[in-house]
Amino acid sequence: DAGITQSPRHKVTETGTPVTLRCHQTENHRYMYWYRQDPGHGLRLIHYSYGVKDTDKGEVSDGYSVSRSKTEDFLLTLESATSSQTSVYFCATQFRGSSDTQYFGPGTRLTVL
Amino acid sequence: AQTVTQSQPEMSVQEAETVTLSCTYDTSESDYYLFWYKQPPSRQMILVIRQEAYKQQNATENRFSVNFQKAAKSFSLKISDSQLGDAAMYFCAYHPTGGQNFVFGPGTRLSVLP
């Protein structure tokens, strides 16, 4: 395991409220990712980071923002949560880049009412 | 855009038997990596096996092996001597060399019958 934790593990919130999910890694991996998992879609990339303060958008980035001020932390923010953002969110890390395996955190189940 | 297809939403296998999960992908790249991940009910994503596209030899990890057909863009997973603990969702994933995105298939739910 790559020492990846996510917090919170479960969250219920209301439409329109901001939500921040945290991913913390202890492996000094350069690359970090946020995915959402929905039935029938597998995992879809939201945002990723290739270094401190370096981030880029993924396939489903609308309504999400990210920040990475330290190597070990990658934050995902839902600026104004909507019911369509109810999902399971996974963080992943990768040591060097494309030749390396991604390691996943345990996931956060988010419900937006 | 790259896509990954898993045409079998659900499969079942008898304990101790062999099962093959299918995966096809679409890409114009020649250099990439392919993965199979397992997701048990705990929800944790666990790497099962990885294949580099430039290697012709099929990857194996104990009871897990792949059949990689690059020209056909096919990457199937064979599980031998199936065990109850193999029951899970299995995801096929594609990762282009030099790129940062992983593209996942929709998954195949595998049941293992005692």
Answer yes or no: is B97 within a domain: yes
Which portions of chain A are predicted below pLDDT 70? 1-2, 97-99
Q: Give the count of domains, chain B.
A: 1
Please determine, for residue B32, whether its predicted confidence score (pLDDT) is greater than 60.
Answer: yes
- Confidence class of residue B97 from pLDDT cuts 50, 70 and 90? confident
- Domain of A48, CATH number, reads 2.60.40.10
For B3, left (φ over 0), alpha (ψ -120 to 50), or beta?
beta
Q: Does A54 touch chain B (CB under 8 A)?
A: no
Answer yes or no: is B24 within a domain: yes
Q: Average of pLDDT values for B35-46? A: 93
Length of chain B: 114
Tell me the residue range of the domain where B54 lies.
3-107
CA distance B26 to chain A (A): 16
Q: Does B45 touch chain A (CB under 8 A)?
A: yes
Minimum-distance CB partner of B50 among A59, A92, A101: A101
Task: Count how many Cα atoms sit within 13 Å of the Cα of residue A18 in the half-sphere of its side chain.
Answer: 7
Residue of B103, B88, B107 whose CA lies nearest to B34: B103
Answer yes or no: is B72 within a domain: yes
Answer yes or no: is B12 within a domain: yes
Residue B85: both structure tokens together: 């603990």
Burial class (CB in 10 A: 0-12, 13-18, 19+), B42: exposed
Q: Where are the beta strands (DSSP E) in B3-87?
A: 3-5, 10-14, 19-21, 24-26, 32-39, 46-52, 60-61, 64-69, 74-79
Contact A43 B99 (CB under 8 A): no
Secondary structure letter of residue B32 according to DSSP: E
- Domain of B8, CATH number, reads 2.60.40.10
Residue B34, pLDDT score: 94
Interface test with A, best of B7, B102, B103 (most A CBs within 10 A): B102
Tell me the residue range of the domain where A65 lies.
4-112
Residue of B75, B85, B83 whose CA lies nearest to B7: B75
Distance CA A6, CA A13 (A): 17
Interface test with B, best of A4, A29, A43, A110 (most B CBs within 10 A): A43
CA distance A51 to chain B (A): 12
Q: Give the count of domains, chain A.
A: 1
Residue with token string 């303060």: A53
